[in-house]
Amino acid sequence: MNKDKFVFFDVETTGLFPDKGDRICEIAAIKVFNNKKIGSFETLINPQRAMPYYAYNVHKISDDMLDDAPAFSVVADSFVDFLENSILCAYNINFDLGFINACLRRCYRPALSLRTIDVLKMARDLLGLKRYKLFMVAEFLGISNPMCYHRAMADSFVVWEVFKRLIDAMKLKSVPDADFLVKRYGIN
């Protein structure tokens, strides 16, 4: 795994369904090499629609905060460039990638085709919990987050911490490599 770059990322959205008009309102990512942060990407995104109250209640991102934020189309190229040659890691990665790829399609850009690891899938495989919300898994693993949950950068850091703890648990059995993780926990 020392030869691979990993990007831990998260999005905040206006709702749950990109195919029904919900959009990204924040995106953040942390690039890691050799278990050290080597870069980050973070921006609010103007979803070009009003923020529903139920979504605001989750992440506290208001319309006022988004007024001067760029549209996804403005940051799409720099975000895709940031991801280049990395393994994408997220908690419930199908959700985040679904939104990113929907935004890319609206910008007439191809969907992402990088290797992936779903950290939620790892947690379900390795931990014997009843529920797997990110904050519950983090608490179970002894991770405290001084930043608030449900903001993209804070959640990206928590996902990275969860990933590291899960890798440590796996090492007790055998040392996993990136190819093993992608095959077992990636999107098929």
Look up the pTM and report it: 0.91
Residue type for 129, please? L
- Under the banding of pLDDT at 50, 70 and 90, the label for residue 170 is confident
Instruction: For residue range 28-54, list pLDDT tens digits in order.
Output: 999 999 999 999 999 999 999 999 999
Percentage with pLDDT > 90 across the chain: 81
pLDDT above 70 for 94: yes
Whole-number pLDDT of residue 8: 98
DSSP collapsed to 3 states, 71-134:
CHHHHHHHHHHHHCCEEEEECCHHHHHHHHHHHHHHCCCCCCCCCEEEHHHHHHHHCCCCCCCH
The structure tokens listed for 126 are 């390795």
pLDDT-derived band at 1 (thresholds 50, 70, 90) equals low
What token pair was written down for 181? 């993780």
Position 99 confidence tier, pLDDT thresholds 50, 70, 90: very high
Q: Which pLDDT value is given to residue 47?
A: 97
Quickly state the pLDDT bin for 172 (edges 50, 70, 90).
low
Q: Say which CATH topology domain 5-185 has.
A: Nucleotidyltransferase; domain 5 (3.30.420)
Per-residue pLDDT, 175: 58
**Res 178: pLDDT:** 87
pLDDT for position 144: 77
The answer to whether the CB of 163 falls within 8 A of the CB of 119 is: yes
- As a whole-number percent, the residues of the chain with pLDDT over 70 amount to 93
Q: Give the integer Cα–Cα distance in Å for 74 and 39.
A: 20
Residues carrying an active site annotation:
150
Q: Is the pLDDT of residue 147 over 60?
A: no
Three-class SS state of 166: helix
- Answer for the pair 123, 137: CB distance below 8 angstroms, yes or no: yes
Kindly indicate the confidence band of residue 3, based on its pLDDT and cuts at 50, 70 and 90. Answer: confident
